[in-house]
A and B are shown apart, each in its own frame.
Chain A
Amino acid sequence: CCWDPLVLCMDVGFSMSNSAPGEEPPFELAKKVIQKFVQRQVFAENKDELALVLFGTDSTKNPLDRDGQYQNITVHRHLMIPDFELLEEIENQVHPESQQADWMDALVVCMDLLQTETKGKKFDRLNVALLTDLSTQANQDHLDVIIENLKQAGITLQFFLPFPAEDDEEGGGDSDRRGPGHPGTGKGLSREQKESLDLVKHVMLSLDEEDGLDQVYTFRDAIEQLCMFKRIERRPMAWPCQLTIGSCLSIRIVGYKAVTEERLKKMWVTVDAQSNQKEDVKRETVYCLDDDNETEVKKDDTIQGFRYGSDIVPFSKVDQDQMKYKHDGKCFAVLGFTKQNLVFSWGQHAGVALSALIRALDELQMVAIVRYAYDRRSNPQVGAAFPCVKQDYECLMYVQLPFMEDLRQFTFPSLENNKKLSPSDTQLSAVDSLIDSMMLVQKDDDDADQKDIFKVHHIPNPAFQRHFQCLHHRAVNPGTPLPPMEPWLKAALERPDVISERCQAPLEEIKRKFPLIEVEKKKKLKTSAQIFGKDAEEPDAKKAKGDEEEDYNLADIAEGSVTSVRIRGQLTHRIEQLLSNKNTHYYMKSITCIQAFREQSVKLGNADLYNSYLQSLKRSIPNRRLEVFWDLLVQGMLSRITAGFLSNRPFLERRLHFHIIAAVPSAEDTGDVDDLVCVCDFLAFKYLTDVP
């Protein structure tokens, strides 16, 4: 029921096209204002109906067109929910025209439209927004009647003009302050404009004695304010409940959700690329047994189960519902009170009893620990209710606390007690001056008030802004690439200029005082193929030298600080890369990598790395259709294991002291991969335990 119908009433008469050289004509600016506004409404999926009335049009089309009255005024669109069709019409059908019309007449047409089209409907408020340069003389005959009607119908007015309504020159003519942004200001106004402006002021002040003139905007200000897409607004829902302390004391409270991570309401739907129809795409989930044939089973032949550690327990929905934790529903029950020290996300408001609680907690610096359940269906939580005493209201702020199951108790090495890491006095003072130069809160000289120059909660979520910018672009410019980010958005996310300037020197000092050296180890490894790549196809002689060097390289790395995990990461990454090419050439390269991986694992004394990788690789073979590769691998590896020990390669010899030839399987064992893995495992383990 809560909607605000609005008529946009735009002057398209010939004077709107007049402009000083190099300046945008008022028509273009006004058009931008309504475009931006309608866009916002469309993307906010606002249900407020909107009409568009143009005046100064060559033709006349309105219900009041009689006896030569209300001429050159066109009702372009009746009250409707705004959509892209309207945006396209504004883009393509709203042009500067060659007539002039009385803006007061246009206002009457708008009022009439609102009254006839909202008859019998419920609404909060009726609105008219007039965009004009006020160049026509307005008929003032029925001014009082019009104002009276506006008041009675509860219609609010907004004016958008090319120039500001209030002359700031009263004090002493510092018109520069307004800058060049407002063409046609002040002295440049025609007699008609001056008269009309007085009329506008008269109307606005009659509607609202105090703040009426706040509703008169310039085109430029409006464009600036409308450049953001509307932030998501949700009405907070009241949640009435009882705050209980034991069973004898309860206080009626109302909760509201005050802060929550808002998400976009709409999800992307999948459509067919050709037809753009979502109906053409069907998703289907099938169930299959984990056997070699991936035998499909019907959904009806499956039941629900849960994992209990290593056990899988069949547990039907019915049983689950019957046995699950049940509670008495909605509550806000105090478990006890404790010292303050945390954070939260809910708000409450209440009367005297609650006020006493809030202020008692505030004065004692304590919080209430409460059990909170939204309703019977939702899981109860434990949380803290903090007192919040503001000048004009008092409330409790609730935040959920973690359960024992949620906590990860990590310990971290001490920083301060470590002599090697602790900063010197000069280093500390460098950080001190950095903090001084980068304070985002500035004290005004005059009063104790602090000005915060970077308020995060005033920034619209950039993800939403960008999302709508791109959607809008795609909607009106199909077939063109997405636009770059809007400059204002980019700037809003950056360090403020004043800070950037001020912190230059302290940052330089930090740079000098704190050497920061990126640990290079990762980059050196290039790709494993470059290091280990011994292409079977290439003549050995040609590569011999390179191999030698690279072997050293690997050995150094492996012996140095690089952990085995990292080596594995690099190698497996490369192997996976190679395997994405289904081609014997790449298969052979992968096998070389796997071989190198095995050697490294053996050397690092950690067969697990290699074995577990190989097992997971094996499991993925059928899915990835890599059977050919696997056969090659099994054959290749076995022969290499044999060959490796016998060929007496210097690398192995020098680094590994590896002489367990006895464990090498015979060539007949090919085929069974688990055997292969076991053998490697055995080799590795023997090595570990036998070397003194």
Chain B
Amino acid sequence: MAEWNAYYQNEDEDEEQEEGEQSGDYKVTGRDSLVFLVDASKEMFIKGEDGEPSNFDMTMQVVRSVYTSKIISSHRDLVALVFYGTEQSKNPRNSFKYVYVYHDLDEPGAKRVQEVDALRGEKGARLAAETMGSGETSLGDALWCCANLYSDIKLRLSHKRLMIFTCRDEPHRGDSAKDRQARTKASDLKETGVIIDLMHLMKPGGFDVAPFFRDIVSQPEDESELGLHLEPCDKLEDLQKRVRAKEQKKRAMARLNLCLGEGINVAVGIYATAVTARKPAAIRLYRETNEPVRSKTRTFHMQTGSLLLPSEIKKAQTYGKKQIVMERDEVDSIKKFQDPGLYLIGFKPMEKLKTHHHIRPAVFLYPEEGEVKGSACLFSALLMKCSERNVFALCRCVSRRNYPPRFVALVPQREEVDEGKVQFTPPGFNVIYLPYADDLRTLDPPQCPSASQIQVDKMKEIVSKLRFKYRSEAFENPVIQQHYRNLEALALDMMAPEDTEDLIMPKVDQINHRLGPLAEEFKDLVYPAGYNPESKSVAKRKTAIVGGVAEKKPKAEVPEDELRAHVQNGTLGKLTVPVLKEACKQFGVRTTGTKKQELIDF
């Protein structure tokens, strides 16, 4: 019966495909793995001036954040934490001295997060000293030990990365035999596909990569990559950024040809740079043992009870009281228009890209020189010219087989690096999905009076008081964070989950404080006296659609001088229609209109 599973697992193919589209070919290629190889020598524990955290402390914070982010966004990845330069040794066959495998390669879990936490701060330093201590250094042995970790894994690994965290540029203090052994082991590792990165940390006198580590780390992806020219990290934020940039394997969601014309195909990869993290689906556990159960879905005939073969079912939809039936493969074939690929339609100036014409997260395009030689050059030329002339390329895009086409705007993005020479925007095209006619809703925007310059200027003051520099990584999703804190608490038998700070909550007190009297001043300019935008009775009225201005019916006389002041300040708009009508009468203006703007225009 098991084989029925195989037939029906694609029943919800649409959803699954879309998921797949987002997450890349992860399932197909195997697990990613990451080994943190951390120097535990005395130098690592030296605290910075003014009580700045030690390099070791900083590293542990980064390791922790990688652990938790892996749990949330890619829990199938394997992570290990290994210390070298320790006094104690702990490794699988205990064949290496001064190497302490704190965590072998495995999926990170609650316990591991807690164990890394234990190594943080003052207490952490003490714990490290007690359990591991600081001793001699043999990076060769450490690397060899890591190689064993990789080979002990029976799972298929796709991406293998090893990050060395150290502040010592000459770990063996000139012992050339040890240096040589480390180089040999490093090259062994690299031959098996492990990428070795150096996360070098600040030490007095600067960190010189040249004498030793240059031969240890992997060659960067291309010669121009800044890799080793980087300055050593001295800030947690920098280190975090550097680690994050490397920690995830970038995977193309799809590799396609960008076709400019017949026979002109540029190979490109499509990358998802923002994938909405969702609360994961629940899994079913057997009540007795808490072990996960597998679910199997079968399709069978109601009357005969026999299982139905794919050939024994069809698909149907009902319209106008008629059931319309198609074969399964017909349902697929309807969706097919062209083979996968991007096809250039033409170019348009950037201002034609309506900012609100946006239907799903943008993806990113980068050339695949390995598929079609010459792609990078033509791609780069297109990028430079589009950017220079401020145009975007309009393309028809079929992202996978049997997918209907969508039109996309390829918006050029030039490379930008920050002061630390870390790239913060990569070079390539942002792919913006454009809406079809069906995706736009016809809105009937109500006519509203415009604000006067005085009102606008007041608001400008408010805006400048509340300016901040937006960073996308600044906002954690409180729903997901809470969920995982809850799980963490349950997994670790904690009394209560750790508090989560809701980062997308407005800091009301701070805002009020910064605004000071501005809020009242603004309200005086725009709202009629006594108007309360929050009052329920107002909200219930039908005029809610127009928003903003409440319209009170009777009682509508304003002293003439007050009225004149309003005219001078351009704040007539805050008066109500009856008031304005009354005012018009007062000034002997004949009115027929009831629209406010008409009244103001008088």
Contact = CB atoms under 8 A, between A and B. Distances in A.
B51 interface: no
Nearest to A339: B470
B137 to A, nearest CB: 21
Contacts of A252: 533, 538-539, 544, 547-548
Given A260-B441, A423-B378, A345 B293 contact: no
A463 B372 CA distance: 31
A279 B300 CA distance: 11
Interface string B475-516: 111111111101110110000010010101111100110010
28 contacts: A42-B319, A82-B320, A231-B438, A271-B325, A281-B302, A297-B293, A307-B283, A309-B70, A338-B469, A344-B358, A345-B359, A347-B445, A350-B546, A352-B455, A352-B574, A379-B479, A380-B478, A392-B445, A407-B473, A412-B250, A417-B224, A430-B381, A431-B378, A454-B394, A507-B264, A516-B266, A564-B193, A681-B151
B333 interface: yes
B537 interface: no
B526 A353 contact: yes
Contacts of B484: 308
B438 to A, nearest CB: 5
A103 B377 CA distance: 69
A386 B355 contact: yes
A240 to B, nearest CB: 5
Report the 3 A-B pairs with minimum CB-CB distance, sorted nearest first: A351-B548, A612-B156, A246-B511
**Chain A facing B: main interface SS:** mixed
A338 to B, nearest CB: 4
B467 A338 contact: yes
B3 interface: yes
A683 B382 CA distance: 50
Interface residues of B, number: 239
Given A83-B320, A309-B75, A323-B486, A272 B308 contact: yes
A388 interface: yes
Nearest to A316: B282
Given A244-B506, A273-B312, A410 B248 contact: yes
A632 interface: no
A417 B317 CA distance: 56
Contacts of B93: none
Nearest to B33: A608
A499 to B, nearest CB: 5
B529 interface: no
Given A439-B346, A608-B151, 6 more contacts: A258-B443, A270-B314, A302-B284, A310-B109, A334-B466, A402-B274
Contacts of A359: 450-451, 456, 459
A507 B262 CA distance: 9
Contacts of B372: 516-519
Interface in B294-347: 294-303, 308, 311-326, 330-331, 333-335, 337, 343-347
A685 B151 contact: yes
B371 A519 contact: yes
Given A301-B286, A354-B547, A612 B157 contact: yes
A435 interface: yes
A475 B319 contact: yes
A466 B361 CA distance: 26
A641 B414 CA distance: 54
Interface stretch (A152-160, A183-191, A363-371): A363-371
Contact of B273 (A251, A408, A681): A408
Interface stretch (B83-91, B421-429, B552-560, B581-589): B421-429
Interface in A479-497: 482, 485, 493, 495-496
B289 to A, nearest CB: 8
Contact of B450 (A269, A394, A399): A394
Contact of A623 (B5, B438, B464): B5
Contact of A248 (B314, B362, B500, B512): B512
B436 A457 contact: yes
Nearest to B436: A461
Given A285-B297, A366-B463, A392-B447, A45 B506 contact: no
A663 interface: no
A274 B302 CA distance: 13
A351 B546 contact: yes
Interface in A224-252: 231-236, 238, 240, 242, 244-252
Contacts of A482: 330, 333-334
B464 A281 contact: no
Residue of B75, B334, B360, B375 ringed by the most chain A CB atoms within 10 A: B334
Nearest to A299: B284
A408 B394 contact: no
Interface stretch (B36-44, B121-129, B198-206, B517-525): B517-525
Interface in B391-407: 391, 394, 396, 404-405, 407
B232 interface: no
Contacts of A329: none
B355 A238 contact: no
Contacts of A382: 475, 504
B385 interface: yes
A468 to B, nearest CB: 9
A contact residues, range: 35 or more
Interface in A299-344: 299, 301-315, 320, 323-325, 327, 333-339, 342-344
A405 B73 contact: yes
Contact of B506 (A273, A312, A334): A334
A265 B374 CA distance: 44
A602 to B, nearest CB: 12
A268 B547 contact: no
Contacts of B299: 270, 281-284
Nearest to B297: A285
A87 B449 contact: no
Residue of A280, A290, A355 ringed by the most chain B CB atoms within 10 A: A355
A511 interface: yes
B486 to A, nearest CB: 5
Given A392-B447, A685-B151, A360 B357 contact: no
A251 B193 CA distance: 58
A471 B319 contact: yes
B355 A351 contact: no
B504 A371 contact: yes
B436 A284 contact: no
Interface in B83-108: 106-108
A474 B325 contact: yes
Contact of A286 (B263, B296, B432, B479): B296
A284 to B, nearest CB: 6
Nearest to A238: B545
Contact of A254 (B301, B464, B544): B544
Given A270-B313, A415-B379, A338 B302 contact: no
A412 B224 contact: no
A405 B262 CA distance: 41
B383 A415 contact: yes
B380 A416 contact: yes
B441 A351 contact: no
Contact of A347 (B276, B443, B475): B443
Contact of A258 (B70, B343, B440): B440
A418 B79 CA distance: 33
Given A281-B301, A306-B282, A516 B373 contact: yes
Contacts of A63: none
B435 A284 contact: no
A325 B487 CA distance: 13
B547 A350 contact: yes
A429 to B, nearest CB: 9
B547 A351 contact: yes
A236 B476 contact: no
Contacts of B359: 259-261, 345
A185 B579 CA distance: 59
Contact of A427 (B5, B107, B222, B377): B377
B522 A416 contact: no
B45 interface: no
Contacts of B319: 42-43, 45, 84, 266, 471, 475
